[in-house]
Amino acid sequence: MTLKDAAVGQTVKVVRLTGTGPVKRRIMDMGITKGQTIYVRRVAPLGDPLEVTVRGYELSVRKADAQMVEVEEVA
């Protein structure tokens, strides 16, 4: 499952980043790294961007970037 597929109100844990180069660096600069928990707060009406909470910060993540973050659901 990817971050793009996560539902609003769901908390997920990052398993792996599949992006490369500057895209991966941009994702990591947002604090999205392996093992980090992410709470999906809201999805824009057209599905882009996703608004998430990571490490206490509220961020907007593009759908294309969210597709490169593999996650698993936190019980």
Please give the pLDDT value at position 23.
Answer: 86
Residue 37: DSSP 8-state: E
| Residue range 3-73 in CATH 3.40.50.1360 | no
Q: Could you give the CA distance from residue 24 to residue 16 in angstroms, rounded to a whole number?
A: 11
E-only strand ranges, 8-65: 11-17, 37-43, 50-54, 57-61
pLDDT computed for residue 9 by the predictor: 93
Question: What residue ranges do the domains of the chain occupy?
Answer: 3-73
Question: What count of other Cβ atoms lies within 10 Å of the Cβ of residue 34?
Answer: 12
Q: What is the pLDDT of residues 42-73, one digit of tens each?
A: 988 876 889 999 999 999 999 888 999 999 99
Residue-wise pLDDT tens digits, 7-29: 999 999 999 999 788 988 989 98
| Rounded Cα gap, residues 30 and 32, in angstroms | 6
**pTM score of the predicted model:** 0.85
CA distance 14 to 28: 11
The pLDDT value given to residue 43: 87
